[in-house]
Structure 1
Amino acid sequence: MRLDLNPKSKEDRRRCLILDTNVLLHDPSAIFRFEENIVLIPLFVLDEIDSKKSDPQLGFNAREISQKLEQLIQRTENWEEGISIPNGRGGILYFVNNFMSKNFPDELTLNYKDNAMLSQIMGLQERFPERDFILVTKDRNLRIKGWALHIACEDYLHDKISEEYLDSFFQPVKHLQLTGEEINELFKSKATENWAISYRKKWRLAENEGVALFDPGEQFFGMAMRKGHQLKYFDYFSTRILDMPPKVLDAENQQYNFEQAVCMQQAMDDSIKIQIIIGKAGTGKTHIAIAAALEKVFKERKYDSIKLIKPVITKSRLGEDIGFLPGSLKRKLIPKMRPFVEKLRLFTSEQSDEGYRKLLDSGVIELLNLADIRGADLANSFVIFDEAQNANPFQMRTLGTRLGEDTKLIVLGDPTQIDSVYLDKYSNALINLYENALQNPAPFIAHICLIQMVRSHTSQWFESHIQSGR
């Protein structure tokens, strides 16, 4: 392919965007996102993608990129003008080789891929000075190095949301003050399970959203959840899972934990097939999810099994590789899923290794690696996907498309604790799913943010003071 990027006219102001490997691995459809502009992919990026095809975490995305590129190549007859990108804007794709700059700093070795990419971009700038070249990468250090070499750099922002929008998620449960007439309507039925009131649009509640109810004198008297055209009442003090009520750590300053109460109601509601729980460490996410799963499976017999899933992030940039050391998959996963194991130990009658190991050995509770989810049987299961902030949206889609009508999924995570080098707190699977649930509501989806730290007073102190830098 002959690369000619000279503008065809004075009106040709298209930018040239060079995509780093991490952008394509993060979003295999990234090449379609840049409108009418020119997309450049260095050949050594293709080498890196090829090396990830067998990777447990990134392999699916790597293979999908290759498939999309092959399809584009096959439909292109004349490569001299580049490969047409069918995005409705006339985008063009080129593969790039050579163009290494002779002015690249000697102290930066070209054996390192990032440096070779920067040298290539400098060479393109020298060869086509009338074009604007922008390196698109999710690697912050590479962007810094690029700016130092006078190369324009951008993060990949297609699936990002703003800081303000992210902060808006973390809101407490709404307080709803009812009139005397509305309270009479709420309690007019003799059967407590029928206590409800017609939903008013002015309340602006999402489906399955919970609220705290107050009377005209501003006294708290109960809670409710929107269910279609009704606001269904439930009693805060009767809300329990495995006989555990909502937890309040600092009773002197906080009398209630409304968020946990709503979370428990959603977790135990069989009509809710997908529940999304966002909260920082120590707010009770895993505790509530595991307790609900145990009660639904072992007490109510609603589901046959519990599936515990978590992205396994290693020190390697490869992501979820759990290693080639001897041992079964379960044996390797137990250390990686310590929060699950600790909760199982807490909830079993034998609070010892023997107790939870009996549950794992029975097969009723199964630990799953996210990389193996394509072959997993999720039928009639209570599925808990923890630390979803360390998965990408495509992995979430893969998991979601394997859910049946008889399966319940609880997705947990803290967007402030990202361990994967390919993700950030705006573009991970947890926030992507939460945002889509807000924009595309359904009666079988619920979401809640847990706010109160309930683990311990020492944890609360660290959360309040050390992280904020005070």
Structure 2
Amino acid sequence: MLDKIYVIDTNVLLQDPKAIYSFQHNEVIIPAVVLEEVDSKKRYMDEVGRNARHVSKLIDSMRGKGKLHEGVALENGGMLRVELNHRSFQYLQDKFVEKTNDNRIIAVALNLLLEEQTKENGRQVILVSKDALVRVKADALGIPAEDFLSDRVVEFNQIYTGYQERFVSSEVLTGFYKNNGIPIETLQCGILYPNQYVILKDTLRKSVSAVGKVDRSRSFLKKCAFDNEHVWGITARNVQQRMALDLLLRRDISLVTMVGKAGTGKTLLAMAAGLMQTEDLNNYKKLLIARPIVPVGKDIGYLPGEKDEKLKPWMQPIYDNLEYLFNVKKSAELDKILAGISSIQVEALTYIRGRSLPEQYIVIDEAQNLTKHEVKTILTRVGEGSKIVMLGDPKQIDHPYLDEYNNGLTYVVEKFKDQQVSGHVKLEKGERSQLAQLAADIL
């Protein structure tokens, strides 16, 4: 016998089309109204529309196993059923009068719960939704409600930072300086990943420290020299920024991910390193800078003009950094410089599908607003001899179906942390201004 009954909200399926397989040996109920909502999203040309089409095909493929309204077996031992009979609003109309789609889903869960309570061995009924208010309403009616957490890449406060801090004895630190490194087994640091940094601090003398990076074999911690602290007029102001520049300028690392609060210097450092490697060192043929078009707050609607004119408001943060790096006061001056430098290209991610990007230094800003599918699409565009840098703040997400733990940037950080071709660092200290740092901390 199946242990529990899970009633699934529409947003769960639109976030993860394969969510029906996440409930193990239990019965998964999809209310009829959920199918209607999924159907209304099929025509969207974004990630939500793609997931809606995926869900539609997935459920349709199960019709060959039996009648959906009676229940069909899932590969994981559970059962999927499209619920048609428990739609009555009788027990809900006194509490929530309007027959909204959310309330109709709650009504199905409530009616199933009341039916199970009349049975001798009635099963527990749980409503699963990404919508906090749906969970609050369900709880007020006595229906157990849960968030869908199976799509999370990492648990709370376990996001990889790219570095560790360790207190060591003076003898260990002296040996580290003398030999330009130390075997990792002597540090007892636990699990370390390739290209991860370790900040060694003297146990007795708190002001004495050193920074090392893990080699590809994970057996030796090599002393970091940080020779490249001045890049295109930009100077690293803290140890995390030094780590970031080291990763950004290394030719043996093809993927760099950087996270941090607003004002920590993510975009500026990445663009300065990109300009140095394309314009000064000629390591790459082109610097491509892109960001997703996701508005903060209410969308401003359609914009007039050609493609470049339409993109200018969305790309303005990138142009602000370019103005700073080129030391120009007016945007017209920057336009003249960019017109003369064909190796710098500013694009929206909308146009990246189907492209191949060889020998390019690629910077993807605001990557926390990308889904897992979108970051896969982007990374599979990277050609031979290219380097890609993905930046963002997982705590500042504008996408309606993403959060700090299931967005595309966090997904890449966690999946690539044990790969030799990638490196990651979390920037902690804001350097934009004292006010910006204060706002990031207390607001």
Residue 162 of structure 1 pairs with residue 149 of structure 2: no
Counterparts of 1:242-391 in structure 2, within 5 Å, are 242-247=232-237, 257-314=238-295, 323-358=301-336, 364-391=343-370
Q: Distance in 1 between matches of 2:227 and 2:130?
A: 47
Residue 134 of structure 1 pairs with residue 126 of structure 2: yes
Residue deviations 1:5-34 (CA, integer Å, cap 9, x gap): xxxxxxx35211122121112112111111
User: Which amino acid counterpart does residue 99 of structure 1 have in structure 2?
Assistant: H
Correspondence for 1:60 among 45, 50, 53: 50
Q: Distance in 2 between matches of 1:381 and 1:151?
A: 53
Correspondence for 1:419 among 398, 423, 428: 398
Match of 2:83? 96
How far 1:353 moved relative to its partner? Answer: 1.2
Equivalences, count: 427
Residue deviations 1:278-302 (CA, integer Å, cap 9, x gap): 1111111111111111112222222
Q: Distance in 1 between matches of 2:317 and 2:370?
A: 17
Residue deviations 1:347-402 (CA, integer Å, cap 9, x gap): 12544212443466566433443444323433322222222222222222222222
User: Which amino acid counterpart does residue 58 of structure 1 have in structure 2?
Assistant: V
Match of 1:143? 135
SS of equivalent to 1:374: coil
Q: Distance in 2 between matches of 1:115 and 1:363?
A: 55
How far 1:131 moved relative to its partner? Answer: 3.3
Q: Distance in 2 between matches of 1:38 and 1:366?
A: 51
Match of 1:32? 21
User: Which amino acid counterpart does residue 425 of structure 2 have in structure 1?
Assistant: I
Match of 1:7? none
SS of equivalent to 1:95: strand
SS of equivalent to 1:276: strand
TM-score by length of 2: 0.85
Q: 1:170 to 1:265 in 2, by over 3 A?
A: closer
User: Which amino acid counterpart does residue 454 of structure 1 have in structure 2?
Assistant: E
Residue 443 of structure 1 pairs with residue 427 of structure 2: no
Q: Distance in 2 between matches of 1:383 and 1:173?
A: 30
SS of equivalent to 2:87: coil
Residue 20 of structure 1 pairs with residue 9 of structure 2: yes
Residue 429 of structure 1 pairs with residue 422 of structure 2: no
Q: 1:46 to 1:216 in 2, by over 3 A?
A: closer
Q: Distance in 2 between matches of 1:79 and 1:33?
A: 18
User: Which amino acid counterpart does residue 120 of structure 1 have in structure 2?
Assistant: V
How far 1:151 moved relative to its partner? Answer: 1.9
User: Which amino acid counterpart does residue 71 of structure 1 have in structure 2?
Assistant: S
Q: 1:57 to 1:358 in 2, by over 3 A?
A: farther
Q: Distance in 2 between matches of 1:376 and 1:50?
A: 31
CA RMSD in angstroms comes to: 3.0
Q: Is the 8 A contact 1:212 1:258 kept in 2?
A: no
Q: Is the 8 A contact 2:367 2:392 kept in 1?
A: yes
Q: Distance in 2 between matches of 1:243 and 1:388?
A: 26
Q: Distance in 2 between matches of 1:367 and 1:360?
A: 10
SS of equivalent to 1:225: strand
Correspondence for 1:459 among 419, 436, 440: 436
SS of equivalent to 2:230: coil
User: Which amino acid counterpart does residue 14 of structure 1 have in structure 2?
Assistant: D
Instruction: Among all aligned residue pairs of Structure 1 and Structure 2, give the percentage whose two residues are the same amino acid.
Output: 30
SS of equivalent to 2:388: strand
How far 1:239 moved relative to its partner? Answer: 2.2
User: Which amino acid counterpart does residue 26 of structure 1 have in structure 2?
Assistant: Q
Match of 1:8? none
How far 1:51 moved relative to its partner? Answer: 3.0
Q: Distance in 2 between matches of 1:216 and 1:79?
A: 65
Q: Distance in 2 between matches of 1:400 and 1:77?
A: 39
User: Which amino acid counterpart does residue 163 of structure 1 have in structure 2?
Assistant: F
User: Which amino acid counterpart does residue 335 of structure 1 have in structure 2?
Assistant: P
Match of 2:231? 241
Q: 1:20 to 1:327 in 2, by over 3 A?
A: farther
Q: Is the 8 A contact 1:26 1:392 kept in 2?
A: no
Match of 1:194? none
TM-score by length of 1: 0.81
Q: Is the 8 A contact 1:313 1:419 kept in 2?
A: yes
Residue deviations 1:409-451 (CA, integer Å, cap 9, x gap): 111121221222212222222222222234xx11101011111
Residue deviations 1:208-265 (CA, integer Å, cap 9, x gap): 1234567899575864422325544443465222142212xxxxxxxxx111101100
Correspondence for 1:117 among 99, 102, 105: 105
Q: Is the 8 A contact 1:214 1:221 kept in 2?
A: yes
Q: Distance in 2 between matches of 1:455 and 1:55?
A: 37
Could you tell me which runs of 5 or more consecutive residues in structure 1 were left unpaired when the two chains were aligned: 1-11, 187-196, 248-256
Q: Distance in 1 between matches of 2:164 and 2:233?
A: 24
SS of equivalent to 1:283: coil
Match of 2:215? 227
Q: Distance in 2 between matches of 1:399 and 1:201?
A: 37
Structure 1, 271-280 or 61-70: larger mean CA deviation: 61-70
Q: Distance in 2 between matches of 1:217 and 1:80?
A: 69
Q: Distance in 1 between matches of 2:132 and 2:277?
A: 44
User: Which amino acid counterpart does residue 235 of structure 2 have in structure 1?
Assistant: P
Q: Is the 8 A contact 1:222 1:235 kept in 2?
A: no
Q: Distance in 2 between matches of 1:111 and 1:357?
A: 54
Q: Is the 8 A contact 1:110 1:116 kept in 2?
A: no
Q: Is the 8 A contact 1:39 1:92 kept in 2?
A: yes
Q: Is the 8 A contact 2:162 2:197 kept in 1?
A: no
Q: Distance in 2 between matches of 1:334 and 1:374?
A: 20
